[in-house]
Chains A and B, each alone.
Chain A
Amino acid sequence: MPALLEISHVSKRFGGVAANVDISFDVQQGEILGLIGPNGAGKTSLFNSIAGEVTPDSGEIRLDGVKLSGLGPVACAQRGVARTFQVVRSFDSMTVLENVMVGAFAKHASSRAAMRAAVDVIAFCGLSPRMDRPAWSLSPPEKRRLEVARALATEPRVLLLDEMLTGLTPTEAQSGVQLIRDVQARGITIVMVEHVMEIVLPLVGRAVVLNLGQVLTIGTPAEIVKNPDVIRAYLGDRYAA
């Protein structure tokens, strides 16, 4: 089966800094793929390339065989790649329902239909009690959920989560993990950037480890924790077995 999302030979430089160097991997339909690595590994750059926010200098990103890279974020969203932001970007002058409706309008022209779809997604994300509250009044974990709800309202095929679980208390993170599992159960493919390994590894089927802009290794969580290169990248030479 061909991969849903293909990242092939993607490179991106910012001035003198090579953020991504020749990165290639595939994302299969329905999986949760983790994108991990120490700070400065190039996770966010790659993430932004997939979301269309930046255009790679070379290489291609394809969704279902159709080239996405270079089309920009609007086209990526319309073609089924939705994302959340590491630093939450809610529309603070709007209510939760209005925030999610902005996403729903990507697939529904009429406001009735968009509203109905948005109400469903809000219920799915467990935000129904907050539906009519202004977005600025939500707690940080609720805002993260709002970002997921808004992205899901665009009815994506791939959902990109940028450090969605970072900075949450263990209980909050646990309910976030459950939400991600529920999203996967809907048949939506997930790529998540995270640098806290113990959160990501139980959740993902496979993970791509980036270091210094390059792919260090790709594998299942069990393979990754044993990989000496990964241990060296995270902890330094002293701890490498």
Chain B
Amino acid sequence: MDNAILRRRKREVLGGVIVLAALALLPLPIKDVYTQNLIIITVLFAGLAQAWNILGGYCGQISLGHALYFGVGGYVSTLLYLKAGLPPSLGLFAAFGVSGLLALPVGWPCFRLSGHYYAIATVVVGEIGYLLFLNWDFVGGATGVFIPFHGESWAQLQFKTAKLPYHYLVLAFAAATWLTAFLLEGSRWGFAWRAVKDDVTAARSLGVNIFSSKMAAAALSGGFTGMGGAIYAQYVGYIDPDSVLAGHFSILIALPAVLGGVSTLWGPLIGAAVLMPASELSRSYLGGSGRGVDLMLYGGLIVIVALARPQGLVSLFGRKDDHARIA
């Protein structure tokens, strides 16, 4: 068989390998810690945005509460390490499991709403999570939890000054989300999600179970977001509700995908590559006096993209036979 779908998927695999290789080599010549850090955060958010894209892009359910999964993932791996001695390298997977499962009871009531009402409900759920953790002493309450340093190790995912191991950790994470999105895109689930996004009534008439499709997308999306949260917690070494559960993380997770192009494989990465450096630079150049300028920047970028390129930045690179993807 030869058709646009198979041709496109071959191209995507090739592109994926090239980008992965490029990102693996990228930090090697860079000695500057600030830049290394910026690349790590960018790649991490590319992965998080891809995780969001599974639910918000392919399935079309705009969640603005993903900080919940991100924060819970961070807390799960951290607390399992501190209270049960589980090494964070395994804690990542526990974070995936807990955040993924958490997405189910969240989805159960929220998916009864659609469109804007669903988005609003997710904002509320995210805020509830933030407030719960803020007032929950067992998890450190408002003071948060500090991850003590026990020497460099991959099991512990702790590295004193070296940035390179973290780079490969976030790259592996981002690559895993990309691969998952790629495989799902070609699978029964991916087709069901895109059908749900385009027309619920038509999807139902073709035997697509709407509710379970959304729940599956939410679980996968939440799981990967939780894993990213665990990596983030390990990277920064200290988490509190404000640094992982605050509402702006929900925006930060969704925005690269929206900016780069939803329900595309490359939108989240392109969006993160533009957004993270831009917000980092605006923050560092403007210093304390510029607090909030990065938020203005997000707003400005969204307005520009919505007006000029509603399909996201990825559409700048689109090929003619890809038009169906970005319509």
Contacts and interface: CB of A to CB of B under 8 A. Distances in A.
A102 B327 CA distance: 18
Given A92-B327, A102-B192, A151 B206 contact: yes
B198 to A, nearest CB: 4
Contacts of A151: 205-206
Contact of A89 (B3, B5, B202): B202
Interface residues of A, number: 41
Nearest to B323: A134
A105 B204 contact: no
B266 to A, nearest CB: 16
A85 B203 CA distance: 12
Interface in B199-236: 199, 201-210
A18 to B, nearest CB: 24
Contacts of B207: 74, 77-78, 103, 105-106, 154
A119 B1 contact: yes
Given A89-B202, A102-B206, A94 B187 contact: no
B4 interface: yes
A133 interface: yes
Interface of B (DSSP majority class) = helix
A25 interface: no
Interface string B1-36: 101110000000000000000000000000000000
B191 A98 contact: yes
Interface stretch (A108-116, A211-219, A221-229): A108-116
A134 B321 CA distance: 9
A151 B3 CA distance: 21
A134 B324 contact: yes
A133 B324 contact: yes
A219 B195 CA distance: 39
A135 B205 contact: no
- Give the interface size class of chain B: 20 to 34
B165 interface: no
A136 B188 contact: no
B194 interface: yes
B197 A93 contact: yes
A147 B186 CA distance: 22
B79 to A, nearest CB: 39
B205 A82 contact: yes
A97 interface: yes
A106 B209 CA distance: 10
A136 B206 contact: no
A166 B201 CA distance: 21
A131 interface: yes
A119 B3 contact: yes
Contacts of B321: 132
Contacts of A83: 205
12 contacts: A53-B204, A72-B204, A85-B201, A89-B202, A92-B327, A93-B194, A98-B5, A102-B192, A103-B206, A103-B207, A134-B323, A135-B324
Interface of B: 1, 3-5, 186-188, 191-192, 194-195, 197-199, 201-210, 263, 321, 323-327
Given A97-B5, A98-B324, 7 more contacts: A77-B205, A92-B327, A93-B326, A94-B324, A111-B191, A115-B5, A133-B324
